[in-house]
Amino acid sequence: MEIIGPVRPNTSQAHRTASAFTLRDFQIDWDRQQAICPQSEESERWQATKRKSGQSIIITTFSQKTCLQCPVRGQCVKSEQRPNR
């Protein structure tokens, strides 16, 4: 993997909220192609794709059931219910 910078600043809502999780709070298991949340839950979907600009990105999603039951969900997502994917 090659990272070409400078990296854009994090302007997400989570980054601006003091107790919210940021991307740095998640672990990435590249070999197993999974993201692991701060509560040690593993993602259920890993999708390599590209932005309209052509930049490669990876999208991971977690189980809706797992997320809805999470005791620290308020630190992770802003919406009341994650959309189905």
Which pLDDT score is estimated for 84? Answer: 45
The token pair at 46 is 């890993």
pLDDT at 37: 93
Enclosing H/E stretch for 64 = helix 64-69
pTM of the predicted model, to two decimals?
Answer: 0.67
pLDDT, tens only, 14-68: 555 677 888 888 999 999 999 999 999 999 999 999 989 888 988 888 998 988 8
Q: How many CB atoms lie within 10 A of CB 35?
A: 21
Domains of the chain, residue spans:
20-70
Alpha carbons 38 and 55: distance in angstroms, whole number: 27
